[in-house]
A and B are shown apart, each in its own frame.
Chain A
């Protein structure tokens, strides 16, 4: 079993829908990261969080440390949000990330 599990693996939605991507992890962490990768593109850091919630534009990331779970939400989704979203965790005492497999999101117009 992977230390970081994302669900769903693939998600297709219509423009305007509210999107939720989930990340569960099995190790103790000091922080959790959400990354975005557009098709054929580079990898961009969206959020880094260790508690509570963070918001940037239409993107919201939450984390529940007790339940070892994080969610990434996208409100009013748009075709330009189509990308792979990757969850990664910082293990305690480590400067290395452990990555989930990614969620491929497709938003149709």
Chain B
């Protein structure tokens, strides 16, 4: 298994509170991704990173920010959580040493915003 750890695995919080999800990898891979998965929408890209301090937006980035201060950690922050951000969040990593490498996914974080 690829060394990816997401934390927390489950979280319940209230609307308006800040939330930070962490993705940690031990593979030293260049690319890291945050997705959300919702019924009827499949997987959608929130943000991704192509190196330390290098990040870019995905298709559903509004309301989310990310940071990558070191290779192994990619943080996803909801500054003021809303009920529409209730979802399952997946982190993924990808080796950048060759073109078209597979992505390896974490186990997911189930986030409920009440």
Given A86-B43, A99-B42, A100-B42, check contact A42 B108 (CB 8 Å): yes
Give every chain B residue within 8 A of A42 (Cβ-Cβ).
90, 105-108
Give every chain B residue within 8 A of A86 (Cβ-Cβ).
42-43
- Inter-subunit contact A102/B99 (CB<8 Å): no
Alpha-carbon distance A90/B101, docked complex (angstroms): 10
Alpha-carbon distance A90/B103, docked complex (angstroms): 11
Comparing A44-52, A58-66, A68-76, the segment that makes contact with chain B is A44-52
Please report A residues at the B interface, Cβ cutoff 8 Å.
Answer: 30-31, 33, 35, 41-45, 48, 50, 86, 88, 90, 95-97, 99-102
Chain B residues numbered 54-108 whose CB sits less than 8 Å from any CB in chain A: 58, 90, 92, 94, 96, 99-108
For A84, the closest partner residue in chain B by CB is B42
A88 to chain B, nearest CB (A): 8
Alpha-carbon distance A6/B98, docked complex (angstroms): 28
- Inter-subunit contact A95/B50 (CB<8 Å): yes
Q: Give which listed residue, B33, B100, B106, contacts A90 with CB less than 8 A.
A: B100
A97-B103, A99-B43 given; name 9 further pairs at CB < 8 Å.
Answer: A33-B103, A42-B105, A43-B105, A44-B105, A95-B31, A95-B48, A95-B50, A95-B96, A99-B44
**11 A/B residue pairs, CB under 8 Å, sorted by A:** A31-B100, A33-B102, A35-B105, A42-B90, A42-B107, A45-B104, A86-B43, A88-B43, A90-B100, A101-B40, A102-B42
Please report B residues at the A interface, Cβ cutoff 8 Å.
Answer: 31, 33, 40-45, 48, 50, 58, 90, 92, 94, 96, 99-108
- Inter-subunit contact A101/B42 (CB<8 Å): yes
Alpha-carbon distance A30/B92, docked complex (angstroms): 19
For A90, the closest partner residue in chain B by CB is B100
* Across the A-B interface, the 5 shortest Cβ-Cβ residue pairs: A43-B105, A31-B100, A45-B102, A99-B43, A42-B107
Given A43-B90, A95-B50, A95-B96, check contact A48 B102 (CB 8 Å): yes
B101 to chain A, nearest CB (A): 8
A35 to chain B, nearest CB (A): 8
- Most chain-B CB neighbours within 10 Å: which of A35, A44, A97, A102? A97
